[in-house]
Structure 1
Amino acid sequence: MTSNQPARLSLGPVLFNWPVDRWRDFYFRIADEAAVDVVVVGEIVCNKRAPFIAPALDEVIGRLSAAGKEVWLASPILVASNRERTAMHDLVDCTDFAIEANDMGALMLLEGRRHAVGPFINTYNEATLGWLARRGAVTVSLPAELPAESVEVLAKAGGETGLAVEVQVFGRAPLAISARCYHARAHGLHKDGCQFVCGNDPNGMPVRTMDGQPFLAVNGTQTMSHSYLCLAAELDRLQAMGVRQFRLSPHDLDMIRIIRTFRDVLEGKRDGRGTVKDLEAIIEGPVSNGFFHNAAGAVYVDAAD
């Protein structure tokens, strides 16, 4: 993707354990109503959840493709068992769709094949970016914790190699993944007998400090930010850096309205700074952009400052 190409919006995979009917209907609405260019689908947080969405996966992909969306299938973030390794091999070997790799094992299997690299693979410098491009990556989604200076360097390097650099601009920031499930443990359960309690928290389970202050969110085996990453006010700056693809992470919110807001900012119909209060009202919670401004990740820095 070169710098003179139009900016694109992408929608990352649903990270939460939604009932299959809600999951399917969400993507149907995205297909019919959302002005996104790229949609990434698949269960990437917990392999135990994958069978629940499997019956609706082909139908969702078909609906999105028919609506003109570019569809990518995502590999899991963490592969720990023989069964999970087999499932990953099946994903890579038995599908004609392009794959977004979120694990180094998947990345090895995809060498020489056109693929994307998700934000769960650490891409922190130009050498890594060049290595990924030589192996067949066409899009690399940067980790959410990178500051603006690093994003700019990587966007420039991507432009020189013809590789698209993507930045997450909305949604709880993914911070860590574990082989253990704190979500289950918080309910007095073991991972193997978790009863899928993560399904009770469609946007993640809030975690508070001993003083009762909001701290993080837990989504099964995944740790996320409490606040919602929001770079609406930074979109112009990101485009000036050479970033041409912008990722929104799905949540149990009015995502159609959120997507429309970001699309309007990208097209110059709305001012990015002026949309932040609107987005906070939809979320009913705080937004943050601290990582981008080389500050504490949980804070919000006014772009004008």
Structure 2
Amino acid sequence: MQDARRAALSLGPVYYLWDGPKWRDFYFRIADEADIEHVTLGETVCSKRQHFSEPHVAEVIERLEAAGKTVTLSTLAMVTLERESRHVRDLVRDSAHPVEANDLSALGLLKGKPHSIGPLVNVYNAATARTLAARGADNICLPPELPAASILEMLRAMPGFSFELFAFGRMPLAISARCAHARSKGLTKDNCQFICGEDPDGLPLRTLDRQSFLVLNGVQTMSGTCLVLADDLAPLVAAGLSRVRLSPQDCDMPRVAALYRAALDGRIDGEEAIAELAAAYPAARFSNGFLHQQEGAAWVARGRSAS
């Protein structure tokens, strides 16, 4: 188990469609430059995208492990086709690496085997967490919509268990069997032409009065803001939070990781980290409202309690 006084940094899977070389080079840079201990890989959003990254998976894993990072492989977030079901079965059966379940359909296959639970599975209370742990889960990444009070309650109810918190990135809000991203560009899901690849950080949506609202990412709907908890983590880590997850965005992620590590270690304060993060990811508005029991897109500045 991680020392409760020093949470490990982890990196979640890339949710967006990046071409194979970009995807590979991103992880090569993570291996070579980022102070990240755990990396979760794998197509999570849309099975049609898998062929872009699959040719590079083995070399990416080799590079990450050579750099001392542990690797976990993610399942799909929504399984609707037989080939997708077969892919999950094969992954659970054949993988030499731990598997992260991001859909309940994987849990039956994983029962009794050590595995992780991803943030796309709704774990909102200690009773659910205990049930999953009893079935073999040894790490649970909590969803980003949880308030701090609920997180603290779980940490106190299950001391020593490895809880992880989604702490940076556009928040995954919903996933659908239909592709609104393709429809927005006059295409259908079956003939999407991988149009989501034109938006490597998601397709921004606006309301009728032109206010920024959400982001489309293929069949996934994400927050229009970027979750940033760099100034909110200290009480959670002190209570036993084991890992802090960064979700890849189309920005300087090694720099993001360095800033989170420095903030977690107390080498810079949260306000300085946030200012530097704004320079590393200038395209995004930041939010942390869910943690403070407000609307998710809200920003709560320092001075408001996270407990």
Q: Structure 1 length as normaliser, TM-score?
A: 0.97
Question: Which SS does the other structure have where 1:130 is aligned?
Answer: helix
Whichever residue aligns with residue 295 of structure 1, its letter is Q
Aligned to 1:125: 125
Aligned to 2:80: 80
> Contact 2:43 / 2:50 at 8 angstroms: preserved in 1?
yes
Change (3 A) 1:88 1:269: same
Aligned to 1:56: 56
Alpha-carbon offset, residue 60 of structure 1 = 0.5
Aligned to 1:262: 260
Aligned to 2:114: 114
1 CA distance for matches of 2:15 and 2:250? 11
Alpha-carbon offset, residue 290 of structure 1 = 0.1
Question: Which SS does the other structure have where 1:299 is aligned?
Answer: coil
Matching of residue 234 in structure 1 with residue 245 in structure 2 = no
Q: Structure 2 length as normaliser, TM-score?
A: 0.97
Alpha-carbon offset, residue 2 of structure 1 = 5.7
1 CA distance for matches of 2:14 and 2:99? 16
Aligned to 2:158: 158
The one of 194, 197, 204 aligned to 2:195: 197
Give per-residue Cα distances to partners, 1:242-275, cap 9 Å, x unaligned: 2121000001101111100001011111101221
Alpha-carbon offset, residue 5 of structure 1 = 6.1
Aligned to 2:31: 31
Aligned to 1:223: 221
Question: Which SS does the other structure have where 1:229 is aligned?
Answer: strand
Question: Which SS does the other structure have where 1:91 is aligned?
Answer: helix
Alpha-carbon offset, residue 236 of structure 1 = 1.0
2 CA distance for matches of 1:261 and 1:188? 40
Question: Which SS does the other structure have where 1:211 is aligned?
Answer: coil
Aligned alpha-carbon RMSD (Å): 1.1
Whichever residue aligns with residue 110 of structure 1, its letter is L
Aligned to 1:293: 292
Whichever residue aligns with residue 29 of structure 2, its letter is R
> Contact 2:4 / 2:240 at 8 angstroms: preserved in 1?
no
Whichever residue aligns with residue 104 of structure 1, its letter is L
Change (3 A) 1:2 1:261: closer
Alpha-carbon offset, residue 153 of structure 1 = 0.6
Give per-residue Cα distances to partners, 1:81-126, cap 9 Å, x unaligned: 1111011111111111100000111111000000000001110111
2 CA distance for matches of 1:23 and 1:9? 20
